[in-house]
Amino acid sequence: MAAKALVPEGRHSPVATTVGSKLYMFRGVLGDRSAKHRPSDEENNMMYIYDVIERQWTKRATTGSFPTACSESACTSFGEKIYTFGGFTDNQEYTSETHEFCVHTLVWKKLEQTNSSEGPMRKCSSGMVAFYRDSDERLQLWVFGGYGVKGGDGKPNPGARFVLAKDRNKGRTNELHILHVSDGKWEGPRITGEAPPPCDSFTFIRVDGFRVVLFGGWVPETKHRSDIVYILDLRLKEWKTVAVGLLEKVQRWLSAKKWPAGREYHTAYSLHDPDAREPHPALLVVCGLDDRYKPRNDMWVYDVELQMWEEVSYVCMYVCQSC
């Protein structure tokens, strides 16, 4: 009798990213909202790995200095390393810790922050990308937005805003910080252009060597889930906006030009390796919750150069990584 194939227990909000042809998934909230439960310490520190080529799951025990967050951490990858920031802990608290995980040694390491007072606030549901600067050969982690606790150790960067939620001292932000991995120093850069408003539960994906696409998220100031595309140039430190104007809305209504509904809690991936020499930057957006709080099952591809969306029924392209 053949052994039963491994399938991870149902969960939401795990750490998840890809390295090469493998998906790595760590922790998350097990069970549904009414029946969630805490796994054993041994199970809690397992890494689940899905091999896209072999089409099967494996799980491996990990060691080292584990993250305290159990869900809603920002996550990205670079080379053979996975990086996490922030998240929500089992004790119902927010964190601003940053961790590094090596996919070969299966060891976690906490990254020391030498000036945490200059870094982000304690939060979850933020976005993070890795950016390697050739000019000084330094790896940077860019962390944007999210929901968390105002004040504390963090310091907003110039121009950042904070919108309070119903919970005291908690809310959403559009702060952006850079962690220089080599020395553990945070930087609050001055960014030009029109930045996204304070938001959370968006996707923040690097699509080529220097550009990041932000899409979706809950925006408390408008009380809507965003359908605006924001592009961050990491070299110029500049935001650009691709909004749905009046003409575009009319064209969309006439089906002459399609545009996905605003959403949050969706998934997005770069359809090409962003570190390739000549990538054609494109973003795949999947599912999410729309303004009617209706779960979506649609898929869209955004062409960064043409600034056009196309709805697709299936994807016959290799999804490289979400970093």
Under 8 Å between Cβ of 120 and 98: no
Edge-first strand order for the sheet with 46-51 is: 15-19, 22-26, 46-51, 56-61
pLDDT on residue 316: 44
Q: What's the sign of the alpha-carbon dihedral 148, 153, 159, 164?
A: positive
pLDDT on residue 131: 96
- Tally of CA atoms within 13 A in the half-sphere of 189 that contains its CB: 22
The DSSP symbol for 251 reads H
pTM: 0.89
Structure token pair of residue 3? 């052994």
Structure token pair of residue 105? 């040694």
Among left, alpha and beta (phi > 0; psi -120 to 50; other), residue 59 is beta
Q: Where are the alpha helices (DSSP H) in the chain?
A: 41-44, 246-253
Q: Which residues of the chain have pLDDT under 50?
A: 1, 256, 315-323
Q: Exposed e or buried b for every residue in 5-15, given b needs 16+ CB within 10 A?
A: eeeeeebebbb
Amino acid letter for position 180: H
Largest CA distance in the chain: 63
Burial of 165 (0-12, 13-18, 19+ CB in 10 A): middle
Other Cβ atoms within 10 Å of 151 Cβ, number: 11
